[in-house]
Amino acid sequence: MEVRILESGNLNPGQRQLWLAGEDKLLLGQCEIDTYRASGPGGQKRNKTSSAVRLRHLPSGLIAISEDSRSQHENKAWAIRRLRRDICIKLREPSPDPFSLPENLAPFLSHTGIHISPKNEYFFPLGALVLDLMEKHQGRVSAVGATLEISTAQTSDFLTSEKHLLDQANRIRRHFGHTLLNY
């Protein structure tokens, strides 16, 4: 099987959804998995077992690491969550024209804004969609809000609601010469 590492952060339409669809086992199948001994505090067990996990997503080149637990199983679960987040946050897909909100994300968007907890499994897929629109509209929050039919302030509130989402939004804004968003 030929593996091509993604050289830019841009994907073909629908590519991200294919990677994120299904169970963790399917995503793990696209990864090289390394285990190693983590350094630092944690007692004797931490320094004697290979509990830390590094996932290298071969199609995208993204890497997710977890050294949080003394359990390799728990670290693998955390690394998968981080990989899913990074696929959503760091990789852009072109937005369809005309724009249409996917059905699974529609319940979180209303005229009063975007209402979803960062702990919700749909938070980062929704964040990916908003970041795709940020890229399409050259970092202009007002244009993203107009596309979503919400206010600029509501769009900004969503983008500043989670650190990783805010960091990526600011990378896009910086690229297009805009001032950065703040918490």
Grouped pLDDT means (10 residues each) for the chain, 183 residues: 46 82 90 86 62 93 91 93 95 87 93 95 96 96 96 97 97 97 87
**Cα dihedral angle (14, 120, 156, 132), rounded to 10 degrees?**
-10
> Could you please report the per-residue DSSP string of 14-41?
THHHHHHSS-HHHHHTTEEEEEEPPPSS
Please provide the size of the chain in residues: 183
Q: DSSP letter at 69?
A: S
Domains and CATH numbers, the chain: 15-90 (3.30.160.20), 106-175 (no CATH)
The secondary structure element, H or E, covering residue 132 is helix 123-136
Indicate the pTM of the whole model: 0.86
